[in-house]
Chains A and B, each alone.
Chain A
């Protein structure tokens, strides 16, 4: 078991280093601004006094690396400084929104993951049939469509024309859970459509790859019935690729969510990021980027650790 622990720790260490490098990139990229943040925020009409005051307030007079460590130290405990536009604390501005985003992603994932994996396995078993080809064309089309295209089609048909679901996902704290699900159904469905297509294709490829293994043929040649070939011989080896597919797509959800939030005016962190970008509110941009990147890395990390833990060769070392 020492091997596994070592590998997992190594992978965790690598994830941590990656995150650290990314924090450096995110922080110092802003330093590349022509002029500095204060100039960028106040614009051309700023007086030298105003600039100096803002610089003082933001601590811009300190060297960059000192500010980096201060920023990183704050980020670790959830403090990302203050917004330069409204002056409010970044953490209060984005915490609730981040929870909303997680809710939306989880909503989509709960529908998409079982649905897509099941369909992917079915398509893999029926490969090269008409059903497979139709599924191939449909998933390719879905992958190729921008999220906002799918979003607006859903709005047009399920909201404007039939009035079944609201087009705008305004959330209130006193909503019942059923109401919440109803109100956020369209953005969740948009994400489901895109992610399902991706996941189905990846699951199909992984399963087909697995079914080509000699040990699967051996199982068939031993007279093992097809369902047992899948359950007993394919499945125990399929966890790693399937975990990988799920993690990759959850990571994809996190990015896709930005566009979908804008289409449905959903109060999530993606929306906050886009607003901050257009207002050049850098502390918020940095915070959102770091959160997105961290989630992304965490999911990839989970996939790799999952693959290590389910690998029979590593579980039973020599």
Chain B
């Protein structure tokens, strides 16, 4: 088949403004975009870069509270969308340009069956009769490897799992065989193992029908699998655009380079001292939330002084719950936690001040971890005041010392409030607050996952330095294996509330693995554009779906 490679979508000098309740402020500041038939373009950038807004604009659609500024040009297949009537624009949507949203669970109407929502567009545009449209839907479900493709469409959205729903939405977007599909972060809400099948399904179907696509994501490794070209955005402006391979091999702009920077940091692995009592010992812990099923089932592992233990697993694996049991927020229903060989009271309310001081926590979202209405000096100063009874100049001195320790200038930050700080700075303040208590053990809950690559690396280096200087033990909760590689000494892999495998890092990263560890390790997208293809070949395409549906 000879594919037509003519230009399908041409956006010139796109400017979009958003209403803050008082004034209109620019969100997109003059972006150009050219998309050919059958081409897949990846739009990548942090939150607030305006990727999603551009995606909607490609359909001639401005979300509530936004408007496309006059002078912007959006030409779809010879038709100028900015000057077209609303009716003309609407006639394109669903039929020639389709949309796949981030959260399929929220984007399917809970009141109608999936297949009725699927056939809405073909029936509306009188492309097919109801029976034909339903047959076609089932065919698409089959192609997207949905289980029970004949029957699944007759369920209601809440009766279907997230990964399946996302595939059903891709099928829905395909219902009128559009020329262009906008994918708006379609796998962000999914787990890594579920993500694979959805990615594979999307890539196949786009390929089969030679549909052009705009693929919006913040995940570089994902976009590398999906896109022919990549466009990088920053704060509503284009940074650069190149074909995928070149972009990965040879980024031009500093910002892109910083995004691409591979984790270079990897510290030497420490091994467990012989015969020493572990600092923290989790022993055969079961736990459940009130009235629910067991979320932890016989979890046991040790953390030694000055060492880093990474706890890995997908959402729902129980890694955060383990942290809650250790800190005493959730008393275990069975088993216990030892600190230096002594059992800790199960409830934090019953622990002594010193026991509380010894174990500190750093959180994933620095935004919710720091009280926005309290000055930095008090956030950091309070633990020092509370545990060590410091006050006056002594306290100020201590706060300055802590700010120095986390590499922030005390004179600049002492009197500021958290909302005035950047993400990385906030995370550093979170670390300083933990250090202020002079602990021996810190739980780091996904501390780098909300940060950009470079900033995250800075945080990891800082944590490593602090560990060496202060002889701290870390429990590192993460789903990111790159982080595990760079900082862990030992690894604990969790699934469905159980520890499936544990041991020193080097052993964990060399086969043979437990099958789940294997699945987890291999499912994390890599920057190599051929990664997905290779992986699917290795696994054999047919059992991709089953692997993750367990």
Contacts and interface: CB of A to CB of B under 8 A. Distances in A.
Does A touch B (CB under 8 Å) in the complex?
Answer: yes
B106 A214 contact: yes
A224 B92 CA distance: 11
A306 to B, nearest CB: 15
A223 B64 contact: no
A32 interface: no
Contacts of B95: 223
B465 interface: no
Contacts of A222: 93-94, 98-99, 120-121, 124, 172
Contacts of A34: none
Contacts of A224: 94, 120-121, 124
B474 interface: no
Interface string A36-51: 0000000000000000
A313 B94 contact: no
Query: In terms of DSSP, what is the predominant structure of the interface of chain A?
Result: helix
A2 interface: no
Interface in B56-111: 56, 59, 61, 63-64, 90-95, 98-99, 101, 103, 106-111
Given A218-B99, A222-B120, A223-B92, A237 B109 contact: yes
Contacts of A225: 90
A219 B61 contact: no
B111 A213 contact: no
Contacts, number: 76
Contacts of A313: 110, 156, 158
Given A223-B94, A225-B90, A318-B159, A215 B121 contact: no
Contact of A218 (B63, B92, B108, B159): B108
B108 A215 contact: yes
Contacts of A211: 64
A312 B106 CA distance: 14
Interface string B434-476: 0000000000000000000000000000000000000000000
A183 interface: no
Interface in A217-241: 217-225, 228, 232-233, 236-237
Interface residues of B, number: 30
Contacts of B397: none
Contact of A223 (B63, B93, B103, B109): B93
B112 interface: yes
Given A233-B109, A316-B159, A218 B101 contact: yes
Contacts of B90: 223, 225
Given A212-B64, A316-B156, A218 B107 contact: yes
A223 B59 CA distance: 10
A223 B121 contact: yes
B125 interface: yes
Contacts of B110: 215, 237, 312-313
Given A215-B110, A222-B121, A312 B156 contact: yes
A318 B110 CA distance: 13
A224 B125 CA distance: 10
- State the 6 A-B residue pairs at the shortest beta-carbon distance, nearest first: A223-B94, A236-B111, A223-B93, A222-B94, A221-B99, A214-B106
Given A237-B110, A316-B158, 7 more contacts: A221-B56, A221-B94, A221-B99, A222-B93, A222-B172, A224-B120, A312-B110
Interface of A: 211-215, 217-225, 228, 232-233, 236-237, 312-313, 316, 318
13 contacts: A214-B103, A214-B106, A215-B108, A215-B109, A217-B63, A221-B56, A221-B93, A223-B90, A223-B95, A224-B94, A228-B124, A233-B111, A318-B159
